[in-house]
Amino acid sequence: MTRDPMAFTDRVTSSSARWPVEAGRYRLVISRACPWANRTAIVRRLMGLDGVISQAVVSPVLESIADDSHWVFSDYDGGVDPVLGVHALRESYLARRPGYSGGVSVPALVDVSSGQLVSNDFEALTIDMGQEWGACQRVGAPDLYPASLRDEIDSVNEAVYANLNNSVYLAGFAPNQQAYDRAVKRVFSQLDELEARLENRRYLVGHSLTEADVRLWPTLVRFDAVYHGHFKCNVRKLVEYPALWAYARDLFQTPGFGDTVDFDQIRKHYYFSHSGINPARIVAVGPGPRAWLTAHHRDELGGSPFGDGKPPGPPLDEDAVPEIG
């Protein structure tokens, strides 16, 4: 699976003339199902930008428009985003570039006043929320991309993206046995390496949360729910990796992570939308989520999630996900 290059890579920065940092100007469009979008939702929460950048959530079920599948706002009243006033995210892409015929993806940062897409660059969006929005961030927000650790963070991210984040999709959509075998081997080789790395350290890089954790975790939280069965990444489950499973629970229970996850939407999107893999569109009911709340004991390894800072407050009402019962 080769991902289409991101077509809109403008950046919102403190020095930009076209897209300056400005509270209330932008709307972040995410899917609760998408791991790339989950990253931006996490960083938005960790940085305390909830009240600065509004958030819209597309339906987990794609809609066919003009012979293509699209992210739509069907779960809002009237099937229209209440802020952007559009039914399909592609309308923001077309507002930016009339006649655009490429892919439409989330996350997407949209300029509210013009309705134009600013960026669908999921990698730059999280970096910039952490580094460029300092004037709008909450007191006690963490530094997720400290200068002294950037080389190591970038190295970890590169390996995790190539071998795990993207390779679960290479396995799931493999066109033949050989391609599937190669992808699955990369997935579990990477998981084995991460298991060894996390046996004696709480976080991937340094002693607190960084971009590396933000980029790995959304794949882990979806692993047993969809990648293990739906994408046939079934050599082992996440719960069979003692260190990784404890690490994943540690982050799930950290404010800003688990409170961005909706397992029902994750399962519904993957099992229903990928009809080529699951033509009957039967949505799996498990595994149950309660195990994510069990004790992890990772604090015994030292470190602190927010370094010298503090956790964010609870999510805004409009951003809340269903609690695990």
Q: Catalytic residue positions? A: 34, 169
> What's the rounded Cα separation, in Å, for the pair 38 and 211?
13
Alpha helices in the chain (DSSP H): 35-46, 90-96, 122-131, 150-160, 167-172, 177-198, 211-222, 242-252, 263-273
Q: How far is CA 248 from the centre of its chain?
A: 14
Q: What is the dihedral of CA 255, 259, 263, 264, to 10 degrees?
A: 170
From residue 251, alpha-carbon distances to 93, 236, 254, 275 in Å are 33, 21, 5, 32
Q: Residue 322: which H helix or E strand, with range?
A: none
Buried (b) or exposed (e) across 107-137, using 16+ Cβ within 10 A? bbbbbeeebbbbbbbbebbbbbbbbbbeebb
> What's the rounded Cα separation, in Å, for the pair 137 and 19?
18
